[in-house]
Copies of this chain bind each other. A is one copy, B any other.
Amino acid sequence: MGMKGPLMSSSSRNGHNRKMRRTFNNIKITVLCGIVTILVLRGTVGISTILGLPSPSQETNPAILEDIDRILREIRSDLDPDSDQEVEYSSSLSNSTESTVKSNYTLGLKITNWDQHRRNWLSFNPGFSPDPNKPRILLVTGSPPNPCEQPIGDHYLLKATKNKIDYTRLHGIEIVYNMAHLDKEMSGYWTKLPLIRRLMLAHPEIEWIWWMDSDAIFTDMAFEIPMARYDDHNLIIHGYPDLLFKQKSWIALNTGSFLLRNCQWSLDLLDAWAPMGPKGATRDEAGKILTANLEGRPDFEADDQSALIYLLLSQKDKWLEKVYIERSYYLHGFWGGLVDKYEEMMQKHHPGLGDERWPFVTHFVGCKLCSSYADYPAERCISSMERAFNFADNQVLQLYGFAHKELGNPKVKKIRKDTANPLEVKENLNLEAGISF
């Protein structure tokens, strides 16, 4: 576990490594500049391209432009002493002497004054003035651009998307459904980090980015997130404080559904969170550190959830004050304990509660219907997802006078008499009303 090196103390070994790295970087810069010079002299690119100015003609091969761009960025990042981002996590979580992830990965050029930029932009764009009672939320979700390995996966992605369309329509929230891999190093569950960052920077009018997994389904269509509770926080995430602080469990928090404020603090968090993500050796090594330090974690590459838990525990003073660990409602609700109780909920309770009586979100962790491997039997997952979907759908259909015949059945039936005065009925409808059979 961790990397072994020559017999030196940890601190002097780190100093030596840094010196060697700088030497290597100098050599690299020299070589890169040489390549650029040769390309310019060959006339393959114009000086204007090098200087980052609009090129007068479009004849330059775009692939070469892209390569030049990448080379230039590498040069600039090498020249910036702060860009050599090496994450060193405090080793206070474990007795291991090797708890450093060496990673030069960055999500993008460092941004340091985002709050001021946002304020300025909002003042120049009064049409987007924030409403303190209704902060703008952008729900972000997505799935890969290729068909699922298991065809049924695409069908439930579609149903889960329709489900999200319903909730967001009812609550005045916008959706971005992403199918692009913005950064090939940050693949799989890490995709969300560059995506969230990109959306924050592109949408200064948005106050909160709400990431939601594609396998998470809204099951309380009436529940409204109590945003006023979070005025002094920047990250709202479902979890259990005991599991986090006492047990240091790898499932103490759940990154399948969380809200992140669009602010400098969040950009900094994303920057600190990202370095365990790059696919390959970095992610594998980081996985070992996480398994060594978090209770119950199996052996596998670093995942974003474990990495966040580890980060928050390692740097408590820096981050925790602005993190709201929400457990009073199911911002994330593990499906296993919920899906068999929907009929009982319909008998005893009503939408709007959001908690164990009527869960806000039912999250099908481990079902992985889009993949060919999963943690639970596919049949169980499929029938449960169908139930959750119909349980939610009933809450929308009842506004139109319909309900599913049974939770496992896509067929619907009328639950109200037809009327020649539909608006009288409308006045009495309420999402929080009970579902009539």
List the interface of chain A (C-beta within 8 A of B).
Answer: 52, 62, 66, 69, 73, 108-112, 117, 120-121, 143, 145-148, 151-152, 154-155, 157-159, 161-162, 165-166, 169, 174-177, 179-182, 198-199, 201-202, 204, 393, 397, 399-402, 410-414, 417-423, 426, 437
Contacts and interface: CB of A to CB of B under 8 A. Distances in A.
Contact of A147 (B73, B152, B423): B152
A423 B418 CA distance: 53
A202 B179 CA distance: 33
Given A165-B165, A202-B399, A410-B179, A419 B152 contact: no
Contacts of A159: 179
A181 B412 contact: yes
Contacts of A146: 410
Nearest to A200: B422
Contacts of A66: 413-414
Nearest to A183: B414
A166 to B, nearest CB: 8
21 contacts: A52-B417, A69-B417, A73-B418, A111-B422, A120-B423, A146-B410, A148-B155, A151-B154, A154-B155, A154-B158, A161-B161, A161-B165, A162-B179, A165-B175, A165-B177, A180-B397, A180-B410, A202-B399, A202-B400, A202-B422, A204-B423
Contacts of A402: 180, 182
A180 B393 contact: yes
Contacts of A161: 158, 161-162, 165, 177
A114 to B, nearest CB: 9
Contacts of A410: 145-146, 179-180
Contacts of A108: 418
A182 B396 CA distance: 13
Contacts of A111: 420, 422
Contacts of A181: 411-412
Contacts of A201: 422-423
Contacts of A399: 202
A308 to B, nearest CB: 24
A393 to B, nearest CB: 7
Nearest to A160: B158
Nearest to A424: B117
Q: Name the 4 nearest CB pairs between A and B, nearest first.
A: A151-B151, A145-B410, A154-B154, A201-B422
Nearest to A176: B169
B400 A198 contact: yes
Tell me which of A162, A198, A419 has the highest count of chain B C-beta atoms within 10 A of its own C-beta: A162
Nearest to A148: B155
Nearest to A158: B158
Given A109-B418, A169-B175, 9 more contacts: A69-B414, A69-B417, A73-B417, A151-B151, A154-B154, A158-B158, A165-B177, A180-B410, A198-B400
Contacts of A393: 179-180
Nearest to A151: B151
Contacts of A52: 417
Given A182-B402, A422-B202, A151 B145 contact: no
Contacts of A174: 169
Contacts of A155: 147-148, 154
A414 B198 CA distance: 12
A121 B165 contact: no
Nearest to A199: B400
Contacts of A143: 158
A341 to B, nearest CB: 20
B182 A162 contact: no
A401 B182 CA distance: 10
A223 to B, nearest CB: 20
Contacts of A162: 161, 177, 179
Nearest to A421: B117
